[in-house]
Amino acid sequence: MEYWSIEGGRPLGGTAKIHGAKNAVLPIMAASLLVDRAVLYRCPVLTDVDAAARILRALGCTVTRCGETLTVLNTEGVCCETLPEEPAREMRSSILFLGALLARCGRARLSFPGGCELGPRPIDLHLMGLARLGAEIREDGGFLDCRVNGRLRGTQIALPFPSVGATENLLLAAATAEGETIVTNAAREPEVTALAEFLNTCGADIVCDGDRIRVRGVGELHGCAFAIPPDRIEAATYLCAAAATGGEIRVEGVCPAHLAAVLPFFEEMGCRLDVGEDTIELAAPRCLSGVGCVRTMPYPGFPTDAQAPLMAALCRSEGSTLFIETIFSARYRHVGELLRMGACISTDGRTALVRGVGRLHGAGVACTDLRGGAALVVAALAAEGETRLCETHHIERGYSDFVPLLSALGAEITILRQEEPHFV
Ligand code: UD1
């Protein structure tokens, strides 16, 4: 069993270069099914990207990586309409392949995605939208079987909630549909915009205007080269780690505008910020202040993915902070682990009240999910003594080079392997 040993209490200092965004590259990899060749620059090295590459290969594509450049070739055309079960199960956003596969082949089959560590994650909005575009959807022995007679047809779709994944699936399906599609109450996350930009670079006709997206279907798309935008959540996590440890950090290669809802909280915590065109410098005080209330919301609101790392940073603050999680029903699973490190947090349904404590101490803790795992690392870096963190595979789904990058910032963090207990 692998675990990470983190010796806390050292302020982080230095520069962190931010990678391409996980949540942007995954839908764009699904979109590459629609073209003969996609060259993706700044592609992060993540296990979720590996899983998406395995799905593409099983569907007949050639996927190669050279450093940070991922190339997807699909010259022979898609050879299979069924998503392979194992990588699809590993990565929940495999649902994004549904819209692309339907558009490309007129048929798509996948095993029904179950719940996940953040609570039940229904796909009703994806299916409602695809059905409005003309897909026939049947459930058949645990499989979803989607077909379309001829081409998908553009239409008006009003989403009851601005689901990121559903909006992306609709863009993927509508880009080559017949006629015009209008999606209202669409998600506005930068990763949705990045997908639209990728598709437009491939010849699509998509206009994002706030929460209204207009897609004029085009007959065919062509290949392109595209740079994945920076990962705003990765940047927010490093800023949280620096704030929690009383450090000074510069994150490079970011888009500060994407973090507009996050940065003011660092100032409220007492950090000094210097925001450049694509850099953010943060200098933290010795003791952070509580920030009142943090409410997660769809973009441009405070991102749910930054909730756990920010909560970890605030565990050692002076004063209290109330978190209200409005996006996912089970996104406080890291709280139990933070308590083991001496944090004082009480949860009640969608709210969590953090009362700052003077010190955190190292403990044996387990990652519960991707962002919850990152939060435990933030807390461990700020804690006194050693933290032993297991189930770190969750973190590797979404953070490239996490351990080397933190080490370069001065963290004392080592990957260790413990033999499984041997019973005779
Ligand atoms: C994406 C991100 C994830 C982020 C989330 C919210 C990717 C790969 N993942 O996830 O990191 O935390 O956006 O910003 O981009 N819902 C329904 N029915 C649906 C679809 C969603 O009820 O058909 C609900 C979900 O259960 C959840 C909420 O809507 O409560 C938000 O989900 P959604 O925006 O779709 O998130 P994802 O695309 O899954």
For residue 140, the model assigns a pLDDT of: 81
List pLDDT tens digits, range 367-416: 999 999 999 999 999 999 999 999 999 999 999 999 999 999 999 999 99
Q: What pLDDT, in 10s, does the model give residues 236-290?
A: 999 999 999 999 999 999 999 999 999 999 999 999 999 999 999 999 999 999 9
| C-alpha–C-alpha distance, residues 169 and 177, integer Å | 13
Q: From the alpha carbon of 327, which atom of ligand 1 is closest?
A: 30
Give the residue with greater pLDDT, 360 vs 81. 360
How many C-beta atoms surround the C-beta of residue 244 within 10 A? 31
> How far apart (Å, rounded) are the C-alpha atoms in residues 273 and 265?
11
- Atom number of ligand 1 nearest to Cα 23: 15
Q: Give the span between the Cα atoms of 283 and 274, in whole angstroms.
A: 9
119 pLDDT above the threshold of 70: no
pLDDT at 424 over 50: no
Q: How much is the average pLDDT of 43-55?
A: 95
- Is residue 165 over pLDDT 80? yes
pLDDT at 5 over 60: yes
Q: What is the pLDDT of residue 329?
A: 87
SS3 track for 24-36: HHHHHHHHHHHCC
Mean pLDDT of the chain: 94
Predicted confidence at residue 88, as pLDDT, reads 83
CA-nearest of 390, 262, 265, 330 to 117 is 330
Indicate if the pLDDT at residue 85 is higher than 90.
no
Among residues 133, 217, 141, 115, the alpha carbon closest in space to that of 169 is found at: 133
Average of per-residue pLDDT across 101-110: 92
From 79, 80, 116, 344, the catalytic residue: 116
Mutate to test the pocket of ligand 1, among 49, 90, 94, 164 (most ligand atoms within 8 A of CB): 164
Query: Which residues' Cβ are closer than 6 Å to ligand 1?
Result: 23, 26, 93, 121-126, 161, 163-166, 187, 191, 304-305, 327-328
Question: Is 116 annotated as catalytic?
Answer: yes
Give the pLDDT score at 420.
Answer: 57
Q: Which of 398, 401, 326, 312 is nearest to 360 (CA)?
A: 312
Window from 63-77, 109-123, 240-254, 275-289 with minimum mean pLDDT: 109-123
pLDDT at 118: 58
Give the integer Cα–Cα distance in Å for 59 and 77: 9
Question: Atom of ligand 1 at shortest distance to CA of 126?
Answer: 23
Which pLDDT score is estimated for 87? 85
Nearest CA to ligand 1 atom 15: 23
| DSSP three-state, residue 194 | helix
Over 70: is that where the pLDDT of 96 sits? yes
Q: Is the pLDDT of residue 27 over 70?
A: yes
What is the pLDDT confidence band of residue 114, given thresholds at 50, 70 and 90? low
Determine contact, residues 27/97, Cβ cutoff 8 Å.
no
